[in-house]
A and B are shown apart, each in its own frame.
Chain A
Amino acid sequence: MGEVILTMKGIDKSFPGVHALDHVDLEIRKGEVLALMGENGAGKSTLMKVLTGIYKKDSGTITYEGKEIEFANPRDAQAAGVVIVHQELNMMNHLTVAQNIFIGREIMNGKLINDDKMNKEAAKLFDRLNIKIDPTEKMGNLTVGRQQMCEIAKAISHDAKVIIFDEPSAALTESEIEELFKIIRDLRDKGMGIVYISHRMDEIKVITDRVTVMRDGSYVGTLITKESTKDDIINMMVGRVIYEDPKTESNVPKNAPVVLKVENLNAGKMVKNVSFELHKGEILGFSGLMGAGRTETARALFGADPKESGKIYINGQEVDIKNPMDAVKHGIGYLSEDRKRYGIVVGKSVAENSTMATMDEFTNGPFINKKKENDIAQKYVESLKTKTPSVDQLVVNLSGGNQQKVVIAKWLVRNCDILIFDEPTRGIDVGAKSEIYHLMNELVAAGKSIIMISSEMTEILRMSDRIMVMCEGRVTGEIGIEEATQERIMHAATLRK
């Protein structure tokens, strides 16, 4: 057990109308990885922002290396050795790797920047991390995983003693996550104090030594990772029990009709000869590593991206889907992985979003029939149990889970029978997650059919009746839920054909 390097005690922070942090304590030790967990809105990010000087605390003390301190801004914190690797990568894509690493503290040669020296120093940093990245490459040309390695290199170049990882694995592939963990262990063994913020329970078990849990802006408690179970941690996070049991058998009757059949779909580099069938009342999981071509398949099927060849049959009839309008006409709804960009209009109300795909049915001549719109929106707010004060509430004010419900309502209003859920619970907290799962099960029970793309193994195993596994644009496995195991899926997901 390492010695304590940084302590936050009784940290309090309020924003107008919100008590964001309520006397929170945190202790970071040398040579240890501390998980910081909590649902969305629990105050993890706010706490880290207070630590690194982005926000000023209202009260409480921060002790770092035995002295009480308060960083004025992230730069001060960096200079002292406290560095955040952000969730959203903070990269200047147009600059080179080395220019990014040394931004704000360029190595100078008189009045001019010494790029050669910066490239050499950056190469040394990568050597220390045992990774190969060309410091002169433009940042925008790297994969997300590589960009993150650059962020870590940047942190190390600050002689960091405390490194905070804010959901680092969210956009990484499995192999990149392994590379990341190797680096984190290495840094830990060198005596750094590491804070690891993540929603992924499996990772917490693998990489962290202690877990500090927050809930609603308060400190709940700290556990030793080895000595606690998943349920212990989740209970502390939500205060209610969540079951993550995998599904054991398909709920789809043997003779259920095929509602959607895709034959030899080809679209670009990421969709190669994809064929599958979807049955009525089925949840068909699409599993695979990042970049396997699952979203691309869904987009091509939905007509959002052009397809090169392939046939699509709905209820046995061949259909021609050239654009999303055609897809919607044939009863396909698509819930994008990027809700804010493609799913909802955040500045509009719940009611307006609910009828967005069905506008024609809610008009009197050129005018929108507000009453009819509100009634239907209200109906779905009730049936989906969307938490909103009224249907006039702007969607931007709802939580992620409730925003997702509004998107579902939109497609239900449109009377879609085939729903494509692309990462349905990304960015949604644990409690709301199980509500979305419950809802999906109700939808298939009511005769809808669902294609669910998910990068979370537990989600795939918990929800799917059948699993299609993709790798590099091809279907590499089809597994019934009865035979599905994590190992089988991972095997197929890494099967390069």
Chain B
Amino acid sequence: MADKKKGNAFTNNPLVKAVGTQKIVVLLVIIVLFAFFSIMSSGFRKYPTIVSIFDYSYYISFMAIGVTFCLITGGVDLSIGTGMICYALFGGYLITRQGMPVIVGILGTLLLGLLMGCINGVLVAVLELPPFIATLGTMMVARGFGSIITGGMSVTWPAASSEQGWFRMLFKINKPGLLLPVGFIWVVIFVILMSLFLNKTRPGRYIIAIGSNKEATRLSGVNVVKYQALAYIISGVFAGIAGIAYAAVFSSSIAPGTGAGLELDAIAGAIIGGTSMTGGCGSIFGTLLGVFVMSMLKSGLPYIGLQANWQQIITGLILILAVFIDVIKNRKLA
């Protein structure tokens, strides 16, 4: 029988097996990157820099958790980058221009994400458009819609010092003498919840099954339209959560028309973490590790003198490399 049992002493180690080879490798990459930047730059070794790595990790993490579900179905959601900015603009608009309480702004941000997720879900699962094209379209829609809401103006969520600034404490406690990246707690909570959801509930199981073999899943009596749409709805809601994290962590104003390309950080993170572009397998915990590679680079590269343009080139190259590794892995399986 050709039941493939391969591997070596490392991959057969029970601990390595339980966690997964790729995750351990990614963890090592994170450690190496951190060591590299620390050696290269004295500024990087400081506590505020580490907090800034976390700052970058929140919104990428939330987008990545969401998009992991789309990737597992064999699809993708490109609308999360401009979407996240659009939802945050909408929430900020409700608070600063309409004078609504912050909680309404937060709910508005989430609702708009949910709505966009539903639209993507209908386009992909019901109307059966290719996910790449459908979400490329909604990516443009989100970008334009964000500008229209605010009349083309930037929006600033209330500052930490203001009366309405409490929401910033959800992600970052920044008082004189006290700087805490508390947003990471939320990330961990959502990683655990969504991991459980993916691996231990019916909807999660069906999302994996759809990515592995959609027709077989359908013939097993599973409502594939519903669960495929659910993946996009999850992605939309998490883009909303990402929008809140983004607004809470960065004190600068949010400009309409931005956000394009941020989805690639999230998608790269998910793929680095072992989620396959071809669907059927993925891990939320792996995605979190992959995101830390991305946010480590985002915050570390400026310290070795590589500014925004270089960061984009490096993000692009890493995305290509991650997908290449995924392609090779699949080739081995076939």
Q: Which residues of A contact B (CB under 8 A)?
A: 73-75, 78, 86, 90-95, 99, 103-106, 108, 111-113, 115, 137, 140-143, 146, 291
Contacts and interface: CB of A to CB of B under 8 A. Distances in A.
Interface stretch (B7-15, B30-38, B202-210, B287-295): B202-210
B208 A113 contact: no
Given A78-B221, A91-B216, A93-B212, A106 B4 contact: no
Given A141-B3, A146-B1, 19 more contacts: A75-B220, A90-B213, A90-B220, A91-B213, A92-B209, A92-B217, A92-B280, A93-B213, A94-B211, A103-B205, A103-B217, A103-B220, A104-B220, A104-B221, A104-B222, A105-B221, A111-B201, A112-B200, A143-B2
B286 to A, nearest CB: 14
A112 B197 CA distance: 8
Contact of B2 (A95, A103, A111, A291): A291
A301 to B, nearest CB: 22
B4 A90 contact: no
Contacts of B211: 94
B221 A73 contact: yes
Interface of B: 1-5, 196, 200-202, 205-206, 208-209, 211-213, 215-217, 219-222, 280-281, 333
Given A94-B281, A95-B208, A113-B201, A140 B221 contact: no
A115 B200 CA distance: 8
B220 A94 contact: no
B2 A99 contact: no
Contacts of A142: 3
Residues of A contacting B: mostly:
loop
Contacts of A73: 221
Contacts, number: 69
Given A112-B196, A113-B200, A140-B333, A94 B208 contact: yes
A90 B202 contact: no
Contacts of B215: 90
Contacts of A106: 202, 205
Nearest to A132: B1
Contacts of B1: 143, 146
A177 to B, nearest CB: 15
Given A78-B221, A112-B200, A137 B3 contact: yes
B209 A95 contact: yes
B5 to A, nearest CB: 8
A105 B215 CA distance: 17
A108 B203 CA distance: 12
B209 A103 contact: yes
A108 B202 CA distance: 9
Nearest to A154: B220
A323 B205 CA distance: 43
Contact of A103 (B3, B4, B222, B280): B222
B234 to A, nearest CB: 17
A73 B220 CA distance: 10
Contacts of A94: 208, 211-212, 280-281
